[in-house]
Amino acid sequence: MSRTSTSSSRARTEQPSEPTGRDTEDDLEAPCSIARSLEIIGDRWTILILRDAFRGLRRFDELRRDLGIPRAVLADRLKKLVDAGVLHRRRYQEHPPRDEYRLTPMGIELSPILVALMHWGDRWLADDGPPTVLVHEPCGTDVELGFHCRTCDVDFPPTAIVSRPGPGSAA
Amino acid sequence: MSRTSTSSSRARTEQPSEPTGRDTEDDLEAPCSIARSLEIIGDRWTILILRDAFRGLRRFDELRRDLGIPRAVLADRLKKLVDAGVLHRRRYQEHPPRDEYRLTPMGIELSPILVALMHWGDRWLADDGPPTVLVHEPCGTDVELGFHCRTCDVDFPPTAIVSRPGPGSAA
DNA sequence: GTAGCTGGGTTCGGATTCCGAACCAAGTCG
DNA sequence: CGACTTGGTTCGGAATCCGAACCCAGCTAC
């Protein structure tokens, strides 16, 4: 997903009723995509909720039981994730009214973050081997997550990365 | 310790008056590499500290100024990261005694997590384009981070992933 | 030699947030 | 009807977070 030229993907950031000029104190968000991501998913419970969402859990009580999270905290995190556009709340039956939370495309694209967290934990914190392994479904091979250069057609280590100001930089 | 550490994935059957205690050894760590990783880096400030470490910041005051983090919180997070083995504290001059914090190999391997966070923020939260871009140093092409199957020799989307119990699973 | 500055912290109230337990509402079961 | 389930909200106490103040070692300028 190199976003070289298709960078105009429109994200739905919240724009709270701001009809007039907005340019003084509105730009309080950090000029850093990591910081902006963390404003949405930078919470321990939130990541665990998303992990469970990827595992297929969808209902409030399923999540609450699996995580052992306080109800109020779960309700708050789910609401924030829905507001952010990461989860979608959907009523799937009317008669006992039951809602479920599902990942949106925005949420599904969080998977590299979770996989990276999991691989790192497997490598450095799992003394007895990985509790879970992810495999490529068609063939059963372990999933690899790595840096790749399309031009050179090579995988490379993090030390081969340099950063540059992008189009959204302040300067 | 930071918060309740063993908070997730624990049933509520905890006997308060249990002098013998400690019979469940799996109570110490969650059987999930994501949860274990989050016990070390699952804090907003911690991730931002690591981001700055990747950017080359090494000294206490550099970090404090850049992040605007309270001193006590920075001291606490740095200590925890050093204890965990992610950062290494090194005295680089004796005469005013000055220490620096550098990423260990364990810390450097966190880079896919940060890159994944950055790419997600670029894609969904950066209205004006990415503030920073990462490029492959030898050729200047944008860094890609993706799933790859060595057997099939293909990149694939997250929907092609399935999970299985690994050697460290409880069962 | 002493006053001040800098790096690297620790300590201290007050404000947030988190948590467990209790409660509530809507629907279903027996 | 009363018991039970899902999906929450409300409440007081406990744990964190924060800004500000303080500490200490080592320079540096007066």
pLDDT digits (tens, 9 = 90+) for B75-131: 999 999 999 999 999 988 887 888 899 999 999 999 999 999 999 999 999 989 999
Number of domains in chain B: 2
The answer to whether residues B146 and B155 touch, using CB atoms and an 8 Å cutoff, is: yes
B121 CA, C17 C1': separation in Å? 26
Q: What order of strands is seen across the sheet that includes strand A154-156? A: A154-156, A144-149, B144-149, B154-156
Tell which of B107, B129, B148 closes a domain: B107
CB pairs under 8 A between A and B: 315
Give the Cβ contact number of residue B54 at 10 Å: 18
Task: Establish if A13 belongs to a structural domain.
Answer: no
The CATH number linked to A123 is 1.10.10.10
Is B115 domain-assigned? yes
- Average model confidence (pLDDT) across chain A: 83
Alpha carbon B133 to chain centroid distance? 20
**Distance, Å, B98 CA → D28 C1':** 17
For residue B146, tell me if it sits in a domain.
yes
Q: Does the pLDDT of residue A11 top 50, yes or no?
A: no
**What pLDDT does residue B78 have?**
95
Mark whether B100 and B48 lie in a shared domain.
Answer: yes
Q: Based on the domain organization, do B139 and B98 belong to the same domain?
A: no
**Could you list the residue range(s) of the whole structural domain that residue B152 is in?**
111-160
Tell me the mean pLDDT in the region A53-70.
93
Interchain CB distance below 8 Å, A116 and B120: no
pLDDT digits (tens, 9 = 90+) for A110-160: 999 999 999 999 999 998 999 999 999 999 999 999 999 999 999 999 999
CB contact (8 A) between residue A136 and residue B152 = yes
For A133-148, b/e burial (b = at least 16 CB within 10 A) is bbbbeeeeeebbbbbb
Task: Look at residue A122 and tell me if it is in a domain.
Answer: yes
Q: Which two tokens stand for residue B82?
A: 């050093």
CA distance B36 to B84: 12
Of the given ranges (A25-34, A53-62, A98-107, A159-168), which has the lowest mean pLDDT? A25-34
Nucleotide nearest to A89 (CA to C1'): D7
- Between β-strands B144-149 and B87-93, what pairing exists: parallel, antiparallel or unpaired? unpaired
Q: What is the nearest nucleotide to B95, using C1' and CA?
A: D26
Express as a percent the part of chain A with pLDDT over 70. 82
Question: Mean pLDDT, to the nearest integer, of A79-84?
Answer: 94
Looking at the structure, do residues B136 and B92 belong to the same domain, yes or no? no
Query: Residue B21 pLDDT > 80, yes or no?
Result: no
Of all residues in chain B, the percent with pLDDT exceeding 90 is: 73
How does residue A170 score in pLDDT terms, banded at 50, 70 and 90?
confident
Residues B41 and B103 in one domain: yes
A90 domain-assigned: yes
Structure tokens at A6: 């298709």
Residue A61's nearest nucleotide, by CA–C1', is: D6
pLDDT at residue B11 in the model: 33
Please check whether residue A91 lies inside any domain of the structure: yes
| CB spacing of A169 vs B132 below 8 angstroms | yes
In this structure, the answer to whether residues B88 and B35 fall within a common structural domain is yes
Q: Do B86 and B130 fall into the same domain?
A: no
**Statement: residue B3 has pLDDT above 60:** no
A16 occurs within a structural domain: no
The pLDDT value given to residue A95: 77
Say whether pLDDT at B50 is over 80.
yes
Predicted local confidence at residue B89, as pLDDT = 93
Question: Could you tell me if residue B137 is inside a domain?
Answer: yes
What pLDDT, on the 0 to 100 scale, is given for residue A171?
62
How close does chain B come to A53, measured CA to CA in Å?
Answer: 13
